Amino acid sequence: MITTGYVTMDQSDIHAVSVAVLAHGRFLLVRRGRAPSRGLFAFPGGRVEPGENAEAAARRELFEETGLCAGKMAVLRELIIEGDAGRRYRLEVFRALEVEGVLSAGDDADHAGWYTLEEMRSLPITASTLAVAESIAAVPS
């Protein structure tokens, strides 16, 4: 289950971040190599570490999973995602307009690549990733 809109964080929620990047009509995705979501494609991201702010976590996760660094970023959306074993994730989705570096899968990503929205629809992908990508693609550039 995915909830969007104004999000209040429960003490037991797991604070996580992801980074949506759209460049030349393609979205940057990683395939998860570990749980949760092992084998599914998603935006690069992960948990916010204690003492870390959300933007710093988003930048760290992007670099660890793809080898890329983002320029200016802004929070695009917050979601509550009901995970397995009763876990609940508060996900802050950032939007990065540009990235630089050499793309290389790392950390808990076993693959990284660029995909069109049409290609994404045929991948094993998290529902939240596809929903966010569709909303980004619907906005005229």
pLDDT at 10: 58
Which pLDDT tens digit goes with each residue over 63-79? Answer: 999 999 999 999 999 99
Query: Is the pLDDT assigned to residue 123 strictly greater than 90?
Result: yes
Residue-number span of the structural domain to which 78 is assigned: 2-118
Indicate whether 140 belongs to any domain: no
Mean pLDDT of 106-125: 95
Indicate whether 131 belongs to any domain: no
Mean pLDDT of 22-50: 93
Q: Quote the mean pLDDT of the chain.
A: 90
Give the DSSP letter string of the chain. -EEESS-PPPTTPEEEEEEEEEETTEEEEEEESSSSSTT-EE-SEEEPPTT--HHHHHHHHHHHHHSEEESSEEEEEEEEEE-GGG-EEEEEEEEES-EEE-----TTEEEEEEE-HHHHTTS-B-HHHHHHHHHHHTS--
Query: Is the pLDDT assigned to residue 59 strictly greater than 50?
Result: yes
Indicate whether 25 belongs to any domain: yes
Indicate whether 91 belongs to any domain: yes
Percent of the chain with pLDDT over 90: 77
* Domain harbouring 8, CATH code: 3.90.79.10
pLDDT at 8: 52
Mean pLDDT of 105-126: 95
Indicate whether 68 belongs to any domain: yes
Q: Of 20-24, 77-81, 101-105, 130-134, which range is least confident?
A: 77-81
Indicate whether 88 belongs to any domain: yes
Which pLDDT tens digit goes with each residue over 79-105? Answer: 998 877 778 889 999 999 999 999 999
Q: How many domains is the chain built from?
A: 1
End-to-end Cα distance, the chain:
30
- Identify whether the C-beta of residue 77 lies closer than 8 Å to the C-beta of residue 4: yes
